[in-house]
Amino acid sequence: MTPFALAATDGAARAGILQTAHGDVPTPSFMPVGTKATVKTVDPDELRELGAHIVLANTYHLHFRPGADTIHELGGLHRFMAWDGPILTDSGGFQVFSLRDTILARDDDGVTFRSVYDGEPARFTPELAARVQAELGSDIAMCLDVCPPAGCPRAELEEAVRLTSLWARRQLAADRAPGQLVFGIAQGGADPELRRRSIEEITALGFDGHALGGLAIGESRETMFETTAWAAELLPQDRPRYFMGIGDPEGILEVIARGIDMFDCVLPTRTARTGSALTWQGRLNLRNARFARDESPLDEGCPCPACTRFSRAYLRHLVNQQELLGHRLLTLHNLRFVLDLVAGARSAIERGELQSYKQAALARLQAAEVPT
């Protein structure tokens, strides 16, 4: 039985339901990033109230601190972080390969690198990625992959595709937690031949879902969207399609329109910690002096705690004084903004009106842009 049920069709995109052991995930769906088993400054109950259905945690970081064995002994990741909804765990591949200076060796068996925590040598293999994620007990486990940088030589990109497929076959054969789904990752950058080859090899293995990796890592936006459009069409339509690492409002709308069902990004939470808010008036840098006496809310009509209770002037004060409440309130707002945007797209797909929703939302964002 497929874990993904189609609900409606609108061009390349569609709304569906991803069934997991810890609840259903309506798609398209944005996953707030809880790298170290927490979405920074946000309580799990608040995540539910904001409209989150699924969160992401990271194998690399949890493997080193506090250790998957510790989390397993304490009842698994859901109990450990008090989140009873679905969890997707990244394999750690992106973390390893984005920190290229820490890599000591790479071969068919796996990759050896220095831990960012103590500098000691460590090794990841597909089997270890599977074991750690099984101990964590996530609902969706991602395969260990090789994510090369944008603009790398073609030979390096081709080797990344080869290793990613090799490792995917091995991880798929490894033990998993009861009910755990496993997603494969297609690499290949924006190279049509290599991306197609990777998709062909990964989708032939029979994963529960598929991700487009190796995008949003430095290539142009035009290239990213163009590649997403034709690559998403090559992925099975009866399985979730996951774009790894996009979280700005415009980008979210564009990848949904190109057929993407799931995506994650640290942008909403990281932007909040720098004092900026995502709004229908554009991105607001609250450090700006023009907000010093601004009594209006961040976004008129937004039901988040930051907008219903506090003024821009007060939030600016908190940000400039480095008060933790400011970071927390902006995080709640930014997550609510993105989650509401995606919920709107989901409803539009069900009505068969995604393109008009996207065009109206983009026009509103572009027309209301203000200097930061």
The Cα 209–Cα 20 span in angstroms is 12
Both structure tokens of 276: 């900026």
The Cα 109–Cα 127 span in angstroms is 9
Both structure tokens of 351: 């009505």
The residues carrying an active-site annotation are: 90, 264
Is the dihedral angle over the CA atoms 191, 193, 195, 196 positive or is it negative?
positive
The CA radius of gyration of the chain, in Å to the nearest whole number, is: 20
Both structure tokens of 205: 């293995």
Among candidate residues 62, 61, 19, 53, the one with its CA nearest the CA of residue 180 = 19
**N-terminal to C-terminal alpha carbon distance within the chain:** 49
Among candidate residues 113, 117, 147, the one with its CA nearest the CA of residue 128 = 113
Mention every residue, 6+ apart, whose C-beta is less than 8 A from residue 104.
112, 113, 114, 121
